[in-house]
Amino acid sequence: MTVSRALRDPDKVSAKTLEKIKAVVDRLGYVPDPAASALAAGKTNVIGVIVPSVTNNVFSDVMRGIYEAAEGSKWQIQLGNSRYSPLEEESLVRTFLSQKPAGLILSGLDQSEETSKLLMGADCRIVQIMECGPDPFDMMIGFSHVDASAAATRHLLDAGYERPGYIAARLDPRSQRRLAGFKAAAEKAGVFDPARIVTTPRASTVTLGCELVADLLSKAPQTDAILCNNDDLALGALFECQRRGLRIPEDIGLCGFNDLEMMAAANPPVTSVRTFRLAMGREALRMLTGALAGIEPETPVVDLGYEVIARQSTARVG
Amino acid sequence: MTVSRALRDPDKVSAKTLEKIKAVVDRLGYVPDPAASALAAGKTNVIGVIVPSVTNNVFSDVMRGIYEAAEGSKWQIQLGNSRYSPLEEESLVRTFLSQKPAGLILSGLDQSEETSKLLMGADCRIVQIMECGPDPFDMMIGFSHVDASAAATRHLLDAGYERPGYIAARLDPRSQRRLAGFKAAAEKAGVFDPARIVTTPRASTVTLGCELVADLLSKAPQTDAILCNNDDLALGALFECQRRGLRIPEDIGLCGFNDLEMMAAANPPVTSVRTFRLAMGREALRMLTGALAGIEPETPVVDLGYEVIARQSTARVG
DNA sequence: TTGTATGCGTTATCAT
DNA sequence: ATGATAACGCATACAA
């Protein structure tokens, strides 16, 4: 019993005993059994993280933030991949909950009915990431996708483009909200034309960016700017426009979303909407572990905002 | 006890009892406690995976392969991020082993002395991924980085380039072996010049690809082809060459490594060395779970090979 | 095929 | 500050 205390909370043991214990632990190479601990205590140091994709750059940055913030602490990150499927998400939540986790980090606002039920009854802290919305299960950190893409749209219009189009792949809930933001801003400016929207359920790739641009330009050749649902598509769009001899930004403007590192290095550099993915992961974990330590966040919902990074690809001359 | 059996091995229970049990399990929403199971059985269904980076595209593809192969099975994937640090790797191995995992998947051949000791004494199956080498702890699946980059180098020479350079970032063991492969092939052809090698300890980015090319061309302006340690650098190299008005492939040839999806979409399409990352993850998990089920692989070391995908960026005319 | 007794290694609780 | 006891929920070994 004293050993158990010494290892978990050294202050509760006299210095002398502590020393003795440490020596023996070292000599024997003793390592506590987490399973026995979990069984006896009825809880674990596991923090479950569920993301829709482990390949997508966006989520890998968030994951990195989470791992960095957890580094060296007692918290164990456990990663689940829902592959954009609400059913797989539900199954993962079930699995995680059976492990009596200390906390759960989920992506987005659109959990299924069943998942919501599980989460409401869950005896752990929860952080939703990637978006901001009105009704967090517990805590939330992200930004408004509608606002961010509306801002990007206005940037295109302010730059002098008059017939903006939109390309998107895999319409997950966040993509749909970005599309809605574009539509709202374009309608407000009186430049919305559904013929200039091209989408597909396929997953985003650079190649797909090329194809979507080809589609868009054949359907609506007058398009003079393209807002891309993410930077992979934007890179494809850049390549495809250049292959067609279109000058960027003179003939056509280009804007991405997320501001991956490559956008600044491109030729020409591509305008994008910066999002704070590393910080989001880091802060999500901090909110969670803080709450577990009894320190509640000032507000349950944290909006990290976004920033339109204007570059040459939308710097129309004249 | 019968319930325990029914849930783990339904065949050992009569159909009638099974049905009754299922009904009650459903009604009560019973979920077994993995901690209690681990404690009683002295083992778990956890498969620990340690990768050096969760951001790098290369590893995210491998991870995806692992997750896909584990989907729906009883095996629980647990991911650790060693951030290219042998010490963090050692700490992760220690943590994983305390959980009595069924298996471990590690990256590379270069575990520390201490890590090796831990692994030799470990009571679980082990798969090393990313590389092939002579002395697996247990099983191994990957390819030869030396051979792959030597093949890429020969491709450049066969295409008629005569003064190939090499750019690389973050010289982890695999990068070093790729550099060694380039050097060996270039020396063999009598075209090796250390002035045409530019490296940095910084992590690979597209922007860094631009900078390294700038460096290379200022140190060795006669360079007529660049072999890039990975595709991020290659993309940066593409942009930087184009910014400088160099024609690809006429003035300078370009070859990447890994064949990320974007290389085929680029303008011009960029030659790269294809590696089988998704398959590597998938097969690593299959080898592991197969072995756990008593089915040993035909050979402990599996070489997945590589393929030089020649594209326009090295199609020199004349 | 089903059930009983026992123990896994830790922690909560209470006592000293 | 330290220690004794019981309990956590499941699986092993064995019995019926």
Whole-number average pLDDT of chain B: 96
pLDDT tens readout for residues B49-108? 999 999 999 999 999 999 999 998 999 999 999 999 999 999 999 999 999 999 999 999
Instruction: Kindly determine whether the C-beta of residue B9 is less than 7 Å away from any atom of nucleic acid strand C.
Output: no
**Beta-carbon separation of A262 and B60 below 8 A:** no
Q: Helices in chain B by DSSP H: which ranges?
A: 2-8, 15-28, 34-41, 57-70, 86-98, 113-120, 145-158, 173-188, 206-219, 231-243, 262-265, 277-292
A38, A55, A265 ranked by CB distance to B60: nearest: A55
Is the distance from CB of B75 to CB of B69 less than 8 angstroms? no
A vs B: CB pairs below 8 A: 123
- Whether any strand C atom is under 7 angstroms from the Cβ of B17: the reply reads yes
Which chain A residues are within 8 Å of B63, Cβ to Cβ?
54-55, 81
Which of A31, A71, A261 lies nearest to residue B98, judging by beta carbons?
A31
pLDDT computed for residue B185 by the predictor: 98
| Coil, strand or helix at B265 | helix
pLDDT given at position A318: 53
- β pairing state of B46-51 and B103-107: parallel
* Inter-chain touch B262–A206, beta carbons under 8 Å: yes
Query: Tokens 């890429």 — which residue?
Result: B152
Task: Say whether the CB atom of A10 is under 7 angstroms from strand C.
Answer: no
- Closest to B107 measured CA to CA, from B140, B69, B76: B140
C1' of nucleotide C13: residue with nearest CA: A1
Cβ atoms of B80 and B49 within 8 Å: the answer is: yes
CB A141 within 8 A of CB A280: yes
DSSP state, A47? Answer: E
- Taking the CA of residue A53 and the C1' sugar atom of nucleotide C10, their distance in angstroms comes to 36
- From A185's Cα to the closest Cα of chain B, the distance in A is 31
Contacts of B73 in chain A (CB under 8 A): none
Domains of chain B as residue ranges with CATH: 33-143+277-305 (3.40.50.2300), 145-274 (3.40.50.2300)
DSSP conformation letters of A172-227: -HHHHHHHHHHHHHHHHTT---GGGEEEESSPP-HHHHHHHHHHHHHH-TT--EEE
Cα separation, B134 vs B87, in Å, equals: 23
Which tokens hold the place of A136?
């967090």
Task: Give the 3-state secondary structure of residue A79.
Answer: strand
Helix or strand or coil: residue B208?
helix
Q: Which residues of chain B, if any, have pLDDT below 50?
A: none
Half-sphere exposure of A95 (CA within 13 A, CB side): 24
Burial environment of residue A74 by CB neighbours within 10 A (0 to 12, 13 to 18, 19 or more): exposed
pLDDT recorded at residue B275: 98
Which residues of chain A fall below pLDDT 50?
none
Chain-centroid distance of CA A96 in Å reads 20
* Confidence (pLDDT) at B318: 53
Q: Which residues of A fall within a CB distance of 8 Å from B244?
A: none
pLDDT 10s digits, B176-204:
999 999 999 999 999 999 999 999 999 99
